[in-house]
Structure 1
Amino acid sequence: MRLPDFEAWAVFAAVADTGSFTAAAEALSLSKAKVSKAVSRLEVELGTVLFHRTSRRLSLSAAGRSLVDHARRIRLDGEAAVEAARDEASLLTGTVRIAVPMSFGLREVAPLVARFMALYPGIIIDMHLSDARVDLVDEGFDLALRIATLPDSSLRAIRLRPVQLYMIASPDYCARNGTPLTPADLEQHRVVYYANSAQPGLWSMTGRDGSRVQCPVKPALIVNNADAAMPAVIGGLCIAALPDFFCDEEVAGGRLVRLLPHWQFDETTLSIVTPPSPHRPARVEALIAFLRDALQHKQN
């Protein structure tokens, strides 16, 4: 059996990611001719064209688009295998790229990153804070923390703990607008829409008896980050549904109250998500182990 041309696959991934043969050659410390020959060699082996080439631009063909994720995995697996063969002390250096939801990252993860940095001064943390879902492979992230019900995918997930949404408002809001006593009462109120939700205008809840309801709600504020909602909620202007870690202190301090406590939103999960490859550099494994230990059993 003939082995795959792993070098050609890795070079193909580099050209696709950098957008040109010249840039790929620079990134790989190879000559442009060698990069071009590797791609041509792979095209001959596969019997298809991977790139459309013109004098002005280079673009992936349909076949190239369908194969580029495989090429990226081959390249990442090769890089991880090389690092795994090195001396353990040298592995705990370099950069780890991590994507984290904005509010959770600022409240929970940033302090943990500071502790991790003190333990591993040779590791550089590149932390991307955003509520938008990133593509770990395309954007070159080593791992991400996600608060969601994860869909089936090729990504690897380490589930840490459940996260519950609370329906909250300020005491002043309830005094002026009344406190909803049933899900149907929400029709008389305005709420915060979380723009990244699949259906921000439809709140699904389950009662203690197992009955499920779907409540259409009207917007007062539309945001893509929970922190942006808090001034309006604390100011008594609307109702919001926010994660437990986000509002527990405000509820305990009396600045916010939980509404409809006998009804629960669908539970989501805090997870560490990594690219498909089972091979990870030791510096990435170190951060994963640290975050798992710190976050898995923390209760709000």
Structure 2
Amino acid sequence: MSKLPDLEALAIFSKVAETQSFSRAAEALALSKATVSKAVSRLELRLGTTLLHRTSRRFSLTDAGRTLAARAAQMLSEAEAAEGEMLDQAVRPRGLVRLAAPMSFGMAYVAPALPEFLATHPDVSVDLHLSDETVDLVGGGYDCALRIAALADSSMTARRLRSIRRHLVASPDYLAQRGRPEHPSDLVRHACLGYAYLPNAELWRFVSTSGEEATVRPHGPFRANNADALTFALCAGLGVAPQPDFIYWRDLAAGKLETVMTDWSLPPIDLHLVAPGGGPRPARVTALMTYLATKFSGPLWPGDTAGKRSA
């Protein structure tokens, strides 16, 4: 006997027992009468027992047939209910969506945006995982994620939502005491605060507006795996660091931080919405992804123009 039960034959037998007819069962299942008859015979052979007596005029279940018919009917009912529930979820947003997002962006923008989505979709719930570390969507069981990075080729589907600008920033007090760097080579004389999850955290790469390239190996008193943690050190005058615009804009507007080396840029990064590749997504996942794409493709703060250029 094989390890898996013959579920198809069980379902067909259940319908035969219910309708008391091979012909009526075949019609209900949109199968040929021969297919129905062969399925029942296959099941009898597999189980080593007769399930029904049939002649040209009479049809009756054996004791074994009656016992199995009751169990098979229950199995078929549960399978139909499960399939119906999945089909319903595929059409109508309902159920749990597991979403991953970077910590700082997630706290500042994703978490505040979710109540509106949940109010619009009362049958959907969201499990939000915040981490600056790149999570394994498939291995971690996530439905989708927001990622701020230059994405490598992968089996994931990705949609670019907007550009993320990064500039070197420092506090006015720090710049008054240590001077304002004008060229990447000047940074060897400065306290450089590091972000641990850069693709190559040991090197800062710059390109000037004229096309000149420069690489710096930063040294400084503080390194963190979260950009918000660097903000406190920057505002306290501990050094200079590259920060994304969605983090530093408030402190820039308040005069707590200033941009430096504005003729030099760091490698571009974008906000992407990613999801595992494969077949069609449940409606709940599609609904959330559509909402996030709409929410984060446009401007996110006063004076933000990066979102206006998103494709």
Assess same fold via TM > 0.5. yes
Aligned pair count reads 221
Structure-1 residue corresponding to 2:160: 159
TM-score normalized with structure 2 length: 0.68
CA distance in 2, matches of 1:247, 1:210: 26
Q: Following TM superposition, by how much is the alpha carbon of 1:244 offset from its aligned partner in structure 2, in angstroms?
A: 0.8
Structure-1 residue corresponding to 2:131: 130
Deviation per CA, 1:137-180: give whole Å up to 9, x if none. Answer: 01100000000000000011011111111110000000111111
CA distance in 2, matches of 1:166, 1:220: 20
CA distance in 2, matches of 1:216, 1:88: 51
3-state secondary structure, aligned to 1:111: helix
1:6-155 alignment runs, 5 A limit: 85-86=87-88, 91-155=92-156
Structure-1 residue corresponding to 2:196: 195
3-state secondary structure, aligned to 1:196: coil
Structure-1 residue corresponding to 2:49: none
Q: Following TM superposition, by how much is the alpha carbon of 1:191 offset from its aligned partner in structure 2, in angstroms?
A: 1.3
Quick check: 168-177 or 290-299, which moved more? 290-299
AA in 1 matched with 2:299: K
AA in 1 matched with 2:154: S
AA in 1 matched with 2:210: D
Unpaired segments of 5 or more residues in structure 1? 8-80
CA distance in 2, matches of 1:170, 1:87: 51
Contact 1:97 1:127 in 2 (8 A): yes
CA distance in 1, matches of 2:279, 2:191: 46
Q: Following TM superposition, by how much is the alpha carbon of 1:234 offset from its aligned partner in structure 2, in angstroms?
A: 0.1
Structure-1 residue corresponding to 2:285: 284
3-state secondary structure, aligned to 2:206: strand
CA distance in 2, matches of 1:165, 1:228: 16
CA distance in 1, matches of 2:198, 2:252: 23
Kindly tell me: are residues 87 and 252 of structure 1, through their superposed partners in 2, closer, same or farther at Cα, counting changes over 3 Å? closer
Larger Rg: 2
Kindly tell me: are residues 279 and 180 of structure 1, through their superposed partners in 2, closer, same or farther at Cα, counting changes over 3 Å? same
3-state secondary structure, aligned to 1:127: strand
CA distance in 2, matches of 1:235, 1:266: 26
Q: Following TM superposition, by how much is the alpha carbon of 1:243 offset from its aligned partner in structure 2, in angstroms?
A: 0.6
CA distance in 2, matches of 1:275, 1:112: 23
Contact 1:164 1:266 in 2 (8 A): no
Deviation per CA, 1:61-111: give whole Å up to 9, x if none. Answer: xxxxxxxxxxxxxxxxxxxx976632777x322100000000000001111
AA in 2 matched with 1:118: A
Identity of aligned residues (%): 38
